[in-house]
Structure 1
Amino acid sequence: MSETHEDIEVLIKKMAEDLRDHLARSGITDPVMVGIHTGGAWVAERLHRLLDLEQPLGTLDISFYRDDFTRIGLNPQVRPSHLPFDVDGRHVILVDDVLSTGRTVRAALNELFDYGRPATVTLAVLVERDGRELPVQADVTGRHMALRRNQHVKLSGPDPLELKVQDVD
């Protein structure tokens, strides 16, 4: 099963509309956006453009913040995080491609707080799936996917973006 580039762009447009509504209801103006490498950064680039945000897009590489780092080993493509704005007191939109266990989001929050104390953090994810291990939920979701335990969702990109469900042994 896979989602085409066109399907994903429709989901991202829906997410942008939902984010606008969420921010308006919350009274949030001038938020900053941070994408989690790699897939979250790709989704964040599109959302950032659709929302026409004034501040530049930030990115986080949470490789060293993972609680399973010793089990999974060093990611050979570790990238530096880049936050071209002050986080203190800001309303941050944190973007990831897939929310599954919640561990990536936990790691991203740990790193984000190393840069300062945001006023709020809004979580936006392209795909939310079952299997949460931590109490993490998205404020804005492109779609929910009910998958078996041996299935994983993988976003490839950046251009075009494609979602694939893969069986893992």
Structure 2
Amino acid sequence: MDETAIRRALTRIAHEILEKNKGIDNCVLVGIRTRGIYLARRIAERILEIEGKPVQAGALDITSYRDDRGRKTAESTTACVDEAGASFAIQDKRVILFDDVLYTGRTIRAAMDALMDHGRPQLIQLAVLADRGHRELPIRADYVGKNVPTSKLEKIEVNLTEIDGEDKVTIIQQRGQQA
């Protein structure tokens, strides 16, 4: 995906979110660190342009919830925070969770665990820029920018202007491991 394809996908996702939720009332957008945050913010900007109403967008750090890292501790949990770093409530809200790539589903599971530790949302929806398949958990996205079938030897790399200086999604061929 190039910059234009990403922009179009995010605009489409913004419209789909508005349609599915019958507007944006009682919704919050939460991006998983790192790139999910910028996707959530971009969608919030598009929704403001379309609806003329702001929607709260924030960040979620799931580092301590990942199953490939050490056990979480009470001190290591982080609430949803807005751009200013202030935490905000998700209790009884419609949470739209954003990530750049959906692969095995483990990151999303960790994010849902983190969300549930900070309140009980009315519902959680998932938006991703790229869905590459190969799920290990029964998780699916409600909003997908692009389905990108890949082999397990390939990797999807998402670059966003806010971090990488350009917008693009590329497939990278990794070397196979020898037996």
TM-score bracket, shorter-length normalisation: 0.7 to 0.9
1:81 and 1:163 map into 2 onto residues whose CA distance is 29
Note if contact 1:151-1:167 (Cα within 8 Å) is conserved in structure 2: yes
User: 1:2-46: CA deviations, max 9, x gaps?
Assistant: x2111111111111111111112xx86230110011111121111
1:163 partnered with 2:169: yes
- CA distance 1:23–1:12, shift in 2 (3 Å): same
Q: Which amino acid counterpart does residue 7 of structure 2 have in structure 1?
A: E
1:6 and 1:49 map into 2 onto residues whose CA distance is 16
Q: Which amino acid counterpart does residue 174 of structure 2 have in structure 1?
A: V
- CA distance 1:82–1:120, shift in 2 (3 Å): closer
User: 1:93-112: CA deviations, max 9, x gaps?
Assistant: 11111111000100100111
Task: Return the TM-score normalized by structure 2.
Answer: 0.81
Note if contact 2:125-2:142 (Cα within 8 Å) is conserved in structure 1: yes
Shift of 1:55: 4.3
Shift of 1:82: 3.9
The structure that has the greater radius of gyration is: 2
Instruction: Count the aligned residue pairs.
Output: 157
For residues 29-40 of structure 1, the aligned pairs below 5 Å read 29-40=25-36
1:108 partnered with 2:114: no
Within the candidate set 10, 13, 18, 2:11 is matched to: 13
Gaps of 5+ in 1: 71-79
1:55 and 1:42 map into 2 onto residues whose CA distance is 14
Note if contact 1:13-1:47 (Cα within 8 Å) is conserved in structure 2: yes
Shift of 1:81: 5.3
Note if contact 2:47-2:54 (Cα within 8 Å) is conserved in structure 1: no
2:109 and 2:145 map into 1 onto residues whose CA distance is 20
Q: Give RMSD over aligned pairs.
A: 1.9
For residues 18-167 of structure 1, the aligned pairs below 5 Å read 18-24=16-22, 29-52=25-48, 54-69=54-69, 82-83=80-81, 84-157=87-160, 158=162, 159-167=165-173
